[in-house]
Amino acid sequence: MSNNLILTGYPGVGKTTLIKKIVNYLQSKHIEVTGFYTEEVRKDTKNRIGFDVITLEGKQGVLARTKEHTNEESKHYVGQYLVFPDQLESLVLPLFQIPAKVIVIDEIGKMELFSDKFKTEVTNLFKSKSKLIIATIPVKKGYPIKFVEDIRENPQNDVIMVNRENRNKLFNEIITKLRY
């Protein structure tokens, strides 16, 4: 029986791509999967202007935008991005109530953790023994985030570092470990 699966690695290394492959595999096996992933939003190939939250069911909302690419106000910032935790909550929190066997949380990071409701629900999900959680967390650096480090250090979680060298090999390794 596998523990929860936690992927970590530097931005752009392929964590979300790997999550999508795992989700497609599980869905092809008729496993109930719910959750979300985050995706970069680019004005062109060079300029990232924010991040969106996309549910596995295809609903989409704004997680963060640069100030010049939004008319909305927010008191939450990460670097150049204004963060909108209310949109995260409205899209994601209902998903955590769906009786699926597998919950995908891509990602648990600074932006998402502006939502206390999100933190509470994620904490409750990790306490549940009836669901398999597949999540991503940022790589440990600089000023660690306690919430993230608690997930990383929990022995019930199988933490896997994704990098450019191993990202294409990890899929087969991961699907043989999954319990659902």
Per-residue pLDDT of the chain (180 residues; tens, 9 = 90+): 458 999 999 988 999 999 999 999 999 999 999 999 999 999 888 889 999 999 999 999 999 999 989 888 899 999 999 999 999 999 999 999 998 999 999 999 999 999 999 999 999 999 988 889 999 999 988 888 999 999 999 999 999 999 999 988 999 999 988 766
Decide: helix, strand or coil at residue 88.
Answer: helix
**Residues constituting the chain:** 180
CB 61 within 8 A of CB 52: yes
Domain ranges within the chain, ordered by starting residue: 4-38+85-177
The third-level CATH classification (topology) of the domain covering 4-38+85-177 is Rossmann fold (3.40.50)
Tell me, what's the pLDDT at 51? 96
Q: Give the pLDDT of residue 1.
A: 41
Alpha-carbon distance 64 to 51, whole Å?
5
Q: What b-and-e string marks burial along 68-92, b requiring 16 or more CB atoms within 10 Å of the CB?
A: eebeeebebeeeebbbbbbbbbebb
Could you tell me the pTM of the whole model? 0.92
Q: Three-state DSSP class for 151?
A: helix
